[in-house]
Amino acid sequence: MNKINLENKNIFITGTSGFIGYYLAKRVLTEVEGVKVIGLDNMNDYYDVRLKEARLKDLEQYSNYTFIKGDLADRELINKIFEEYKPSVVVNLAAQAGVRYSITNPDAYINSNIIGFYNILEACRYNPVEHLVYASSSSVYGGNTKVPFSTEDKVDNPVSLYAATKKSNELLAHSYSKLYNIPSTGLRFFTVYGPAGRPDMAYFGFTNKLIKGETIKIFNYGNCKRDFTYVDDIVEGILRVMQGAPEKKNGEDGLPIPPYAVYNIGNSNPENLLDFVTILQEELVRAGVLPQDYDFEAHKELVPMQPGDVPVTYADTTPLEKDYGFKPNTSLREGLRKFSEWYKEFYM
């Protein structure tokens, strides 16, 4: 592995007004000496823009942060950013997220996740970088029944367009690593949650509905398991990976062996959806978001599985531990407690 010192470097992070991008940018800005972060976001209204604006406002207090409002699919803009700032490390977190939205709005996924990522790869081809790190997703595992999910597993059967675009990212990165010797690492994130998260995620949507006295739908009659991963753990993982790039080596034919890697970042502790909902409601009551005597049973509905969803996600993170000495470990209760306290402060 090729060690990278981030100090005094220009780092380009896409999706910095998004959930993970914001937390990563904040950590890099506050902890890395002499660093400059260039952030890109299109500030779209896929969810409550106030959240994106609040994240942006927080980052703009740092003098070493440069924000560019724009789209990954805008090739000219991406090329201009690379030419002007010459980033050493690129972290691509901007994407159209969400499995269910991909069924109704496929265009957004092709533009952002395929064309946008292609633009990043082309820019790295012509403006060499020390390391390209990009977000993949646990959704690439599709309906895999073998658990835990290992990066060695075959992942050729996506069950949603979102998953297919993320798998495509890995394939594109592999071919660019091979052809142009670009060190790239893909990170398959498992159900990321936390304060200032994405309102389209279950824990956030449930909270919004419970406050309004609406009923929450629990899919697959509650027999779903998710490997919930707290955002700080994800960011710690990304930060460590940024500093260790796959090594450039040539094969016997004299051509590059692709400096390419893929890792899972998950909690390796799948939680049943019903247990998850129980912990969430206890923490919402504790934080004062919901009243002590809230009748949860009256607001719960068990429904069948949705198209594009999978029954279980479960990360094998052994390679991440082995190569980077890190394993996510925030408990679901601790994470949901922090979310509930943030929710109370932000919305009430």
How deeply is 79 buried, as exposed, middle or buried, from its count of CB atoms within 10 A (0-12, 13-18, 19+)?
middle
What is d(CA 110, CA 223) in angstroms, rounded to the nearest whole number? 31
Domains in the chain: how many in total?
1
Residue closest to 196 by CA, chosen among 26, 25, 343, 62: 343
How sure is the predictor about 294, in pLDDT bands with cuts at 50, 70 and 90? very high
Whether 261 has a pLDDT exceeding 80, the answer reads yes
Mean pLDDT estimate for the chain = 94
Average pLDDT over residues 185-203: 94
**Token pair for 215:** 């009923």
Q: Is pLDDT at 87 greater than 90 in this prediction?
A: yes
What dihedral do alpha carbons 138, 140, 145, 151 form, nearest 10°? -70
pLDDT at res. 56 = 98
Q: Are 142 and 155 in contact (CB under 8 A)?
A: yes
Place of tokens 């996600």: 313
**Is 223 a member of any domain?**
no
pLDDT of res. 24? 98
Annotated catalytic residue: which of 22, 47, 162, 230? 162
Which tokens go with 6?
Answer: 């981030």
**pLDDT tens for residues 115-125?**
999 999 999 99
Q: In the predicted model, is pLDDT for residue 312 greater than 90?
A: no
Would you state the pLDDT for residue 311? Answer: 81
Q: Residues 144-159: what's their mean pLDDT?
A: 92
Residue 274 lies in a domain: no
Residue 65 counted as domain residue? yes
pLDDT of residue 306: 80
DSSP state, 57? Answer: H
Whole-number pLDDT of residue 104: 86
Q: Which residue in 67, 82, 116 sits closest to 96, CA to CA?
A: 116
Give the CA distances from residue 96 to residues 109, 147, 269, 308, in Å, rounded to whole numbers and listed in that order.
5, 27, 26, 15
Residue 315 has pLDDT above 80, yes or no: yes
Q: Which domain holds residue 21?
A: 2-192+229-268+314-329
Within a domain: residue 291?
no
Which candidate, 276, 266, 295, 160, places its Cα nearest to that of 218? 276
Tell me if the pTM is above 0.85: yes
CATH number at residue 105: 3.40.50.720
Q: Domain for residue 73, yes or no?
A: yes
Establish if 89 belongs to a structural domain. Answer: yes
- The tens digit of pLDDT for each residue in 232-260 reads 999 999 999 999 999 999 999 988 899 99
Is 162 assigned a catalytic role?
Answer: yes
Q: Percent of the chain at pLDDT above 70?
A: 100
In a domain, 143, yes or no: yes
Q: What is the pLDDT, as a whole number, of residue 143?
A: 80
What pLDDT shows up at residue 62? 98
pLDDT of residue 46: 87
The residue-averaged pLDDT of 301-319 equals: 88
Q: Which of 111-125, 309-323, 327-341 has the lowest mean pLDDT?
A: 309-323
* Residue 67 counted as domain residue: yes
Q: Is residue 239 a contact partner of residue 37, using CB atoms and an 8 Å limit?
A: no
pLDDT for 267 equals 95
Q: Per-residue pLDDT for 32 more than 90?
A: yes
